[in-house]
């Protein structure tokens, strides 16, 4: 069988159009309530080719994913219009994302060169390059560009590139095949996979015998795909498949890079140390160094010859990387560290070669060579890069620990109809599919997200949520992958696997944050654009400033060391300036700190979505809190219910249940639960819920609908006023009494008359008061923004010590309040948990979503507080402050070396003190600056929460 490169092309590859899933966004008019949303979703969810739909009841925006092979955006639009809704706006989005690992970047200039190369590609919308992470994230139009073009552009810019993932990798598996020996075998296997249910796309690499399959996780999975391959066997021809994983490749690459720098440094030392000894040590120790002065021919001494022989491999073999880097940098019209090092070492080496040739051809010539300068300079730079990479490898330790939480193996069980276990098999965790039943023994890690179907135990979730106290788990409870089952045996059903698990999403979120540039990074980017050219100019001026005055005698001759002339002294100063001013440390100042901080935040339950959020959080001067589910526990309970008219109790609770059952609000659920208790208490066991017509959500006020011929309103005082329902003095008095106690009154109106009311309490979170107090000590004020009534909100504010109350407002009103504070020049953080908080979370400078809240709120937020604890509001702000302080310190380290080192390297102190900075020592200083910056960032790993209520 021929293993030609052509065979890597999939034989039965479907076209990109067949495999593509596109996203279309509509702005739908006349969306008023949840029933409108249901109507839109019902109109198009069953259309062939529509994969998913999400409609926001707040702004009427609909996001639909569909397969263009079966349906068009125009068809979908027409279907919505046929259901009675207007489509005001049509915006189709077709953007793919890929992540690429980049090798060979040394400083900010390199990362900017890669970004510029990527932006030049037709179809690339956005490209972000992370210097410390050594990755790029590229957003592109798949119709105009692809991953291969992106990798090609990076390689043309002079860097190594390797695809990490693409948008299609979310549900992709690589399988290693056995028994596939011919093209006929390939066709059989490919056909068996392509015709399998749930398979979207198949690629085959015949050289490596690896098949790559994109699939729908709700329909199939890796285990089923392996089964399809095995069942394709016929007669004596047996096909086998096993998982082919690339996990850990990044870590292996990093280890290999560190080892490569170490080996290059040791190889360099093998030659440069003897050069240094021959040049600087033995001449100081007569008679031990006298043999070096033996003249081979004319004035060419044995010492000079040996220094040339030993330094040449260092210059051209070890130093080859600097020549290659300089070539690519200059080709793309930029300059980086490689250019500075190549200039400095070449100046020293080739001047020394000139000295050697003069000595070989002259009987009287005497000159000072700098072979030890070029060789020692390269050695010190390699040592610095080795130590720098060693330190950089530790910046993602926290993230690495998260990825290692998932176990390698899991126990898959089969159950009969009576839910008895009939078999148990140990499988690889990556083979788990949705719907699998897994057995979790005491002390074992839970491999995926799922729900308990049998058993009872306590699960330690501290590694994910930071919550130290084990959580009780029984049938119906959710479990998170990576957590530890402590004492009982559980059977769980897999609901989220692979990249859909909470742990995977946390890791993806942190990696995205580490890749994103903080605005403060712009300072380094601006400096780096002009830094290297300025250094070259400064080095030339330094050489001129010492050489010309020395030649014309403007400074004393004794300033020039013996065996040197003015040219050689000026050259040493110029080379020192070139090397000491390398901008590497400047480019590492921000990204290394952001990497460590985002990793530490994730390990403590604070997910920061990007450098922008991390930077803005330290400026926060006011925090706006939602009430229900944020300051309070979010599990309200009814403490009393009263009648205010001649309606019967049966009418009261039946009308309440009918209307409130359609609402998802926490207060509505509490009211329905209590109303059902009343129904049982007053002798009715009827579980039937009366039908409701014209159901409508009055945002921030309540709900309304028609039950039979009766119009029913359930909500707050604002809803009653809006619908012209009069409130008697008895009702007002009942509301006042409960509001003083920080209770919420839910009024029920039947046919325009108050029938009764429920008094609902939602206990405060135990840490709320301490958190508000701590915020005040940090100089941060606090505000409540809630749809609840003013009296209840004020009572809670007084209890926890909040400064200002903004009550009885709808979601857009919360966002307006945030904008009003911003207009006063304040940096505002919003903390919320519900859909109704999303506009304010987006409007705020820093949106913080409580982790137990809705997906919409979490998506809208900049920071996610996984633990559902208010103390992490303080953690997020304090971590931001510590990180920004560390970044500023890093800039001081980076720029400090340059600001102090360049004048010393240029010889400013030499006339007064005799102190000069030899080029090899300048190289050591340059390396030390990068190491000090990375080490400074690593100190953020010692970060501790400023407030831990549980310990108080």
E strand or H helix that includes residue 503: helix 502-515
| CA dist., res. 701 & res. 722, Å (int) | 9
The number of helix segments (H) and strand segments (E) in the chain equals 31, 36
- What's the DSSP call for residue 294? -
Question: Cα–Cα distance between 656 and 678 in angstroms, integer?
Answer: 11
Residue-wise pLDDT tens digits, 134-146:
888 888 877 678 8
In whole angstroms, give the CA distance from residue 606 to residue 599.
9
Residue 545 has what pLDDT?
92
Which residue in the block uniquely carries the two structure tokens 């992958």? 481
The 10s digit of each residue's pLDDT in 215-263 is: 877 788 888 888 888 888 777 778 888 877 765 666 777 788 888 889 9
Average pLDDT, the chain: 81
Percent with pLDDT over 70 in the chain: 88
* 871-901 per-position pLDDT tens digit: 889 999 999 999 999 988 988 888 887 788 8
Read off the pLDDT of residues 535-578 as tens digits, 9 standing for 90 and up: 889 889 999 999 999 888 888 888 888 767 888 888 888 888 88
Contacts with 557 (C-beta within 8 Å, 6 or more apart), sequence order: none
Cα distance between residue 939 and residue 611, in whole Å: 18
* Beta carbons of 473 and 458 less than 8 angstroms apart: yes
207: exposed, middle or buried (Cβ count in 10 Å: 0-12, 13-18, 19+): exposed
CA distances from 645 to 708, 710, 748, 866 (A): 20, 16, 11, 46
The string of pLDDT tens digits covering residues 899-938 is: 888 898 899 988 888 888 888 777 778 778 888 888 888 8
| Strands of 4-46, DSSP E | 22-28
**Is 323 within 8 Å of 374 (Cβ atoms)?**
no
User: Which whole-number Å values give the CA distances from 53 to 38, 141, 577, 783, in the listed order?
Assistant: 11, 22, 61, 36
Residue among 952, 664, 674, 684 nearest 836 (CA): 664
- Does residue 12 register a pLDDT over 70? no
In which order are the strands placed within the sheet that holds 846-850?
606-608, 863-865, 846-850, 828-832, 622-625, 781-785, 804-806
pLDDT of residue 853: 55
Of 467 and 297, the one with more pLDDT: 297
pLDDT at 851 > cutoff 60: yes
DSSP-assigned states of every residue in 141-172: -TTT--HHHHHHHHHHTT-EEEEEEEGGGGGE
pLDDT for the residue numbered 863: 87
Segment 111-130 shows an average pLDDT of 85
Quickly count: other Cβ atoms within 10 Å of residue 218's Cβ. 11
**Is 1's pLDDT higher than 50?**
no
Model confidence at 858: pLDDT above 70: no
**Confidence (pLDDT) at 92:** 47
Give the span between the Cα atoms of 147 and 165, in whole angstroms: 9
Is the predicted pLDDT of residue 169 greater than 70, yes or no?
Answer: no
Average the pLDDT over each of 85-94, 185-194, 501-510, 835-844 and give the range with the smallest value. Answer: 85-94
Position 85 scores a pLDDT of 76
Q: State residue 737 phi and psi, 5-degree precision.
A: -60, -40
For residues 462-491, one letter each, b for 16 or more C-beta atoms within 10 angstroms of the residue's C-beta and e for the rest, the string is bbbbbbeebbebeeebebbbbbbbeebebb
User: Could you read off the pLDDT of 373-416 as tens digits, one per residue?
Assistant: 888 888 888 887 887 777 766 666 666 666 677 788 888 888 88
Name the pairing type of β-strands 478-479 and 637-643: unpaired
Residue-level pLDDT at 333: 76
Q: How many CB atoms lie within 10 A of CB 407?
A: 15
Q: Please tell me the distance from the alpha carbon of residue 932 to that of residue 347, in angstroms, as a whole number.
A: 28
The predicted pLDDT at position 717 comes to: 86
Q: Residue 18 pLDDT > 60, yes or no?
A: no
Cα gap 10→7, rounded to integer Å: 7
Q: What is the pLDDT of residues 649-708, one digit of tens each?
A: 888 888 888 888 877 777 888 888 888 888 777 766 666 777 788 888 877 788 888 888
For residue 3, what are the CA distances in angstroms to 148, 205, 777? 21, 10, 70
The side-by-side arrangement of strands in the sheet containing 87-93 is 50-55, 61-66, 22-28, 87-93
């Amino acid at each position: 069988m021929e293993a030609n490169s052509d065979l890597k092309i999939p034989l039965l590859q479907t076209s990109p159009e067949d495999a593509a899933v596109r996203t279309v966004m509509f702005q739908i008019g006349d969306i008023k309530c949840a029933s409108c949303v249901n109507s839109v979703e019902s109109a198009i969810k069953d259309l062939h080719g529509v994969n998913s739909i999400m409609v926001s009841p707040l702004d009427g925006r609909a996001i639909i994913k569909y397969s263009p092979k079966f349906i068009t955006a125009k068809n979908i639009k027409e279907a919505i219009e046929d259901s009675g809704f207007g489509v005001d706006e049509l915006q189709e989005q077709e953007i793919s994302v890929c992540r690429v690992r980049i090798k060979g970047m040394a400083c900010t200039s390199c990362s900017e060169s890669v970004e510029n190369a990527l932006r030049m590609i037709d179809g690339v919308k956005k490209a972000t390059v992370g210097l410390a992470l050594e990755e790029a994230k590229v957003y592109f139009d798949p119709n105009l560009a692809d991953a291969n073009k992106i990798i090609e552009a990076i390689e043309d810019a002079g860097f190594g590139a390797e695809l990490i993932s693409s948008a299609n990798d979310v549900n992709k598996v690589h399988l290693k095949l056995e028994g596939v020996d011919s093209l006929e075998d390939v066709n059989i296997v490919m056909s068996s996979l392509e015709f399998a249910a749930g398979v979207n796309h198949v690629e085959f690499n015949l050289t490596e015998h690896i098949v790559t399959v994109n699939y729908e996780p709700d329909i199939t999975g890796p285990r089923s795909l392996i089964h399809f391959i095995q069942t394709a066997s016929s007669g004596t021809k047996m096909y086998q498949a096993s998982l082919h994983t690339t996990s850990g490749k990044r870590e292996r690459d990093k280890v290999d890079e560190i080892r490569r720098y170490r080996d290059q440094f040791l190889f360099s030392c093998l030659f440069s140390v003897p050069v240094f000894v021959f040049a600087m040590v033995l001449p100081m120790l007569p008679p031990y160094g006298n043999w070096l002065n033996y003249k081979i021919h004319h004035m060419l001494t044995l010492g000079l010859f040996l220094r040339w022989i030993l330094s040449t491999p260092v210059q051209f073999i070890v130093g080859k990387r600097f020549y290659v880097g300089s070539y690519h940098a200059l080709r793309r019209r930029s300059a980086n560290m490689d250019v500075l090092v190549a200039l400095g070492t070449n100046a020293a080496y080739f001047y020394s070669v000139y000295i050697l040739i003069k000595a070989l051809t002259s009987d009287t010539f005497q000159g000072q060579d700098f072979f030890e300068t070029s060789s020692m300079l390269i050695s010190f730079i390699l040592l610095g890069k080795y130590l720098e990479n060693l330190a950089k490898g530790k910046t993602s330790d926290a993230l690495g620990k998260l990825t290692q939480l998932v176990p390698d193996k899991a126990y898959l069980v089969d159950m009969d109809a009576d839910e008895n276990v009939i078999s148990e098999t140990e499988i690889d965790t990556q083979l788990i599919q949705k719907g699998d039943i897994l057995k979790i023994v005491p002390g074992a890690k839970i491999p995926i997200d799922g729900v308990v179907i049998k058993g009872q135990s306590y699960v330690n979730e501290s590694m994910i949520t930071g919550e130290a106290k084990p959580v009780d788990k029984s049938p119906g409870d959710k479990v998170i992958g990576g957590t530890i089952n402590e004492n009982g045996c559980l059977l769980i059903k897999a609901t989220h696997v692979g990249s859909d698990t909470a742990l995977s999403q946390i890791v993806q979120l942190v990696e995205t944050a580490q890749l994103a540039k903080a605005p403060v990074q712009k300072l380094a980017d601006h400096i780096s654009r002009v830094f290297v050219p300025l250094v070259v100019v400064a080095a030339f001026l330094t050489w001129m400033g010492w050489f010309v005055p020395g030649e014309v005698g403007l400074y004393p001759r004794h300033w020039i060391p013996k065996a040197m002339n003015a040219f050689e002294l000026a050259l040493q100063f110029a080379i020192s300036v070139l090397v000491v001013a390398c901008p590497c440390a400047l480019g590492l100042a921000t990204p290394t700190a952001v990497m460590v901080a985002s990793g530490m935040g994730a390990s403590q339950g604070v997910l920061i979505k990007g450098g922008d959020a991390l930077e803005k959080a330290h400026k926060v001067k006011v925090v706006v809190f939602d009430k229900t589910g944020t300051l309070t526990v979010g599990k309200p309970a009814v403490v009393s219910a009263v009648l205010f008219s001649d309606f019967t109790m049966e009418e009261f609770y039946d009308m309440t249940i009918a209307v409130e059952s359609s609402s998802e609000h926490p207060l509505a659920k509490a009211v329905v639960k209590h109303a059902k208790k009343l129904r049982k208490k007053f002798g009715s066991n009827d579980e039937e819920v009366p039908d409701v017509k014209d159901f409508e959500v009055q945002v921030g006020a309540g709900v309304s609908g028609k039950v039979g011929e009766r119009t029913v309103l359930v909500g707050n005082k604002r809803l009653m006023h809006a619908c012209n329902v009069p409130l008697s003095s008895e009702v007002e008095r009942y509301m006042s009494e409960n509001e003083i106690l920080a209770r919420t009154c839910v009024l029920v109106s039947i046919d325009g008359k108050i029938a009764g009311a429920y008094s609902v309490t939602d206990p405060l979170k135990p840490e709320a008061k301490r958190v508000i107090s701590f915020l005040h000590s940090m100089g941060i004020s606090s505000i409540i923004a809630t749809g609840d009534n003013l009296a209840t909100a004020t009572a809670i504010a007084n209890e926890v010590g909040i400064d200002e109350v903004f009550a009885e407002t709808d979601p857009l009103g919360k966002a307006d309040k945030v904008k009003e504070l911003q207009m006063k020049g304040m940096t505002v953080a919003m903390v919320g948990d519900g859909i109704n908080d999303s506009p304010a979370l987006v409007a705020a400078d820093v949106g913080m979503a409580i982790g137990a809240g809705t997906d919409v709120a979490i998506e809208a937020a900049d920071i996610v507080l996984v633990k559902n604890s208010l103390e992490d509001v303080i953690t997020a702000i304090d971590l931001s402050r510590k990180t920004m302080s560390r970044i500023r310190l890093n800039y001081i380290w980076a720029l400090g070396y340059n600001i102090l080192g360049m004048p010393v390297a240029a010889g400013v102190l030499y006339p007064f003190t005799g102190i000069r900075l030899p080029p090899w020592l300048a190289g050591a200083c340059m390396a030390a600056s990068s190491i000090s910056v990375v080490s400074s960032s690593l100190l953020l790993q010692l970060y501790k929460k400023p407030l831990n209520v549980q310990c108080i």
